[in-house]
Amino acid sequence: MADALGLVLPHGRIGELAEWAADAEKAGFGSVWAIEYNDRSAVVSAAALAAATRRITVGTSIAYAFGRSPLVLAVEAMDLDALSGGRFRLGIGTGTTRMLADWHGVDPAHPAPRMEELVPLLRRLWRLHEGPVAHDGRFYRLRVSPRSGSRPPERAEIPVDVAGVNPRMIAAAGAVADRLLGHQLCTPAYVREVVRPALATGARGAGRNAAPPIAGTLLCSVDDDADLARRRAAETMAFYAATRTYATMLARHGYAAETERVRRAWRQGDPAGMAEAVSDRMLDDIALAGTPREVRDRFAARWRDLYETTLLFPVPGGENALIDAFRA
């Protein structure tokens, strides 16, 4: 499997995340990834994943880029890289407009230019041991000097992955990131027609020789009962489809009607109706759901060659079945 297949761990207690990460490493996964939300720290989760594993990559998919100062984010990444012995990838994203404004108290305007300023600044801060860092930018002002006896970090070039859904943020990733983190609502058509071109545009504009690779996230639900697996995938997909941020992308996929039905059920407080609004066509186009044999076959036929790295995103309670289905 090498680095071509990773596992995102969005659900469960911290101790469970560590157990699943250790099992994923034994199963042959190349990486494990922590998420962040209003009840979960990506940094603490990633520390648990690092402590539970020995060889594979540990990353955040994602940590909120703008809810921290650049210095705090840089130091957290350095500590995680040291804790993991140089196995860490910093995956960052903005979250939605509402998250920026309501959760973090951050002005949500101009997120892509802000990301383009942040990532190079992080790389400068990882070399703080070489001398003071001074920055006066559009979004950040910073003056910091190394303390006496500062040592070099585990690595001064920690890989930075940037999440993007819309073309402008994808272009920002193309300009400054080591890799793009693709969203689990992307279809193969969206990747080919929107994501790859926008990534190349950003890379060209920044004078890069090539666009960075993509680590695409894929919603995956596995159960011996195929109908149950599909229902659980529909429930998770509906949660994301209810978010206005993703409506444009889903409409481009041809799922405007389904998205509107999901949002209507959400407004009515009807979670069952939200899942029922996800059509079979929508589910099969965006997610991977079924028995272990079915998901392996569909992954090989449809998804394996779409991304340079695929990050499997389990439904709640589906971690063990997913790991077993892809066990090497």
> In this predicted structure, what is the pLDDT of residue 290?
98
Strand partners, 40: 37
Structural domains of the chain sorted by starting position, each given as residue range(s) with its CATH number in brackets: 2-325 (3.20.20.30)
Question: What's the pLDDT score for residue 194?
Answer: 94
Residue 300 exposure: Cα atoms within 13 Å on the Cβ side: 8
Which contacts of 293-302 are long-range, i.e. CB under 8 A and separated by 24 or more positions?
Answer: 294/226, 295/220, 295/221, 295/222, 295/229, 295/325, 296/325, 296/326, 299/218, 302/188
Q: Phi first, then psi: what are they for 161, rounded to 5°?
A: -105, 135
Residue 215 above 60 pLDDT?
Answer: yes
CB 278 within 8 A of CB 234: yes
Q: Where are the strands (E) in 173-238, listed by range?
A: 179-182, 214-222
Q: Tokens 């910093």, residue?
A: 90
Share of the chain above pLDDT 70, in %: 99
pLDDT tens figures, 51-60:
999 999 999 9
CB contact at 8 A, 186 and 280: no
pLDDT of residue 328: 87
Residue 1 — very low, low, confident or very high, per pLDDT cuts 50/70/90? very low
Angle of CA points 131, 162, 256, to nearest 5°:
160
Query: Residues 80-138: pLDDT tens digits?
Result: 999 999 999 999 999 989 999 999 999 999 999 999 999 999 999 999 999 999 999 99
* pLDDT greater than 60 at residue 315: yes
**Single-letter amino acid, residue 109:** A
Query: CA 65, CA 17: separation in Å to the nearest integer?
Result: 22
Alpha carbon distance 107, 111 (integer Å): 9
**10 Å Cβ neighbour count for 287?**
26
Q: Tens of pLDDT along 238-278?
A: 999 998 888 778 888 899 999 999 999 999 999 999 999 99
Q: What angle do CA 236, 56, 319 make, to 5 degrees?
A: 25
Q: What is the band of 32 on the pLDDT scale with cuts at 50, 70, 90?
A: very high
Residue 314: predicted pLDDT: 98
Q: Residues 154-169: what's their mean pLDDT? A: 97
pTM over 0.85: yes
d(CA 88, CA 67): 20
Whole-number pLDDT of residue 91:
99
Please tell me the predicted confidence (pLDDT) of residue 249.
Answer: 82
What's residue 15's pLDDT? 97
Average pLDDT, the chain: 96
